[in-house]
Chains A and B, each alone.
Chain A
Amino acid sequence: MTRARNWLLPHPFLTLLLAVVWMLLQNEVSAGMVVFGVILGIIIPKITAIWWPDTPKGFRLGKMITYSFIVLWDILVANIQVAWIVLSVPNSKLRPAWIVVPLELRQPEAITMLAGTITLTPGTVSADLSSAGHSLLVHVLHTDDPDAIRDEIKSRYERRLMEIFQ
């Protein structure tokens, strides 16, 4: 039974996501659309299986939803902060810096999410990953204390992502 399920749904969350995206694209919720969405959600992961070599072992949807709300709020705050920096800090006083964040996350999916989050939130852009994936290079727009930002990234985002992908 589990084997059959693993064969049919190697990535259950991807299937769910594809079905929801299909319904949003069609802009209507009806039985036919649900069925077609689920069919797409089963076929597409099968066809693209070669690019999804291993499934993340554990994935907690509940924590993921909390995380999304935290990130959305941070994006809003970040935008106002960056807009303020753009409007008020003269170029000569701007102090950009590179930060190296040592990573404890190992799954590629989790690191991708962390990098995406960093780019969308307060004054930081993730620029590169080290050759074996043990640290992340982050560029900060304006800071007096790069270490504080590194610690915030680790405690605010990485710790939560560690809990989501176990």
Chain B
Amino acid sequence: MSVEILGTYAVTLFLLIGSGFAAVGVLGLLKFNDSMTRLHAPTKVGTVGIGALLLASVGHSFLIGGSSMHELLIMAFLFVTAPISANFIAKVNIHSRSCETPPAPLQDSTWSTLNVPEEEREVEEKPS
């Protein structure tokens, strides 16, 4: 077996793993019924799914002769930005009261998201 064939198999394997994880992420997003639990599926499963797809891309570019390192950068930026978007969605959930109210912090008075004077809050509270 030559290197090309082995490489092609490796690329295929990574493509399958990546798309499998991405599919599970989407399934989780559809399946869970609460906005906070929905947040978990895409933030985590998405990173490895895309990571595996990018590895496949690196492998393929080495196979056809050119080497490409852009994928490493994409992965680094993804790892840096995924927590931030998750954090913002979580904050919106806390604000709009679409999840259980979080417990009070141990030492300080409140969570920084909720630390706004009542009259400046722009998100309307849902009637319960």
- The reply to whether B112 and A127 form a contact with Cβ atoms under 8 Å apart is no
- A106 in the interface, Cβ–Cβ < 8 Å? no
Which of A76, A102, A123, A139 is packed against the most chain B CB atoms within 10 Å? A139
- Contact present for A115 and B83 (CB under 8 Å): yes
Q: A119 and B43 in contact (CB under 8 A), knowing A79-B21, A130-B108?
A: yes
Residues of B within 8 A of A135 (CB): 105-108
Asked if A31 is an interface residue, CB under 8 A from chain B, the answer is no
**Cβ–Cβ < 8 Å partners of B72 in chain A:** 24
Decide if B102 touches A137 in the complex (CB within 8 Å).
Answer: yes
Q: Does B2 contact A (CB under 8 A)?
A: no
Q: Mark B64-97, 1 if CB is under 8 A from A, else 0.
A: 0001111011001001101110110011011000
Residue count of chain B within 8 Å CB distance of chain A: 51
Task: State whether the Cβ of A91 lies closer than 8 Å to any Cβ in chain B.
Answer: yes
Judge whether A131 is part of the interface by a CB distance below 8 angstroms. yes
Residues of chain A in range 84-114 having any CB-CB distance to chain B below 8 Å: 86-87, 91, 94, 96, 98, 100, 102
Question: Is B63 located at the chain interface by the 8 A CB criterion?
Answer: no
Smallest CB separation, B94 vs chain A (Å): 6
- Does B24 count as interface, using CB distance less than 8 angstroms? yes
| Bound Cα distance A83, B31 (Å) | 12
Closest chain A residue to B66, Cβ basis:
A27
Which label, helix, strand, loop or mixed, suits the secondary structure of the A interface?
A: mixed
Contact B83 A120 (CB under 8 A): yes
A146 to chain B, nearest CB (A): 10
- The stretch among B5-13, B44-52, B118-126 that forms the contact with chain A is B44-52
27 contacts between A and B (CB under 8 A): A21-B73, A21-B76, A25-B73, A79-B21, A82-B41, A83-B21, A83-B45, A96-B36, A98-B100, A100-B106, A115-B87, A116-B80, A119-B87, A123-B44, A125-B43, A125-B90, A127-B36, A127-B93, A128-B87, A128-B90, A128-B113, A129-B111, A130-B110, A131-B111, A133-B108, A135-B105, A137-B102
A86-B28, A132-B107, A135-B108 provided; 7 other pairs, C-beta below 8 A? A79-B45, A83-B24, A86-B24, A86-B27, A86-B45, A123-B44, A131-B109
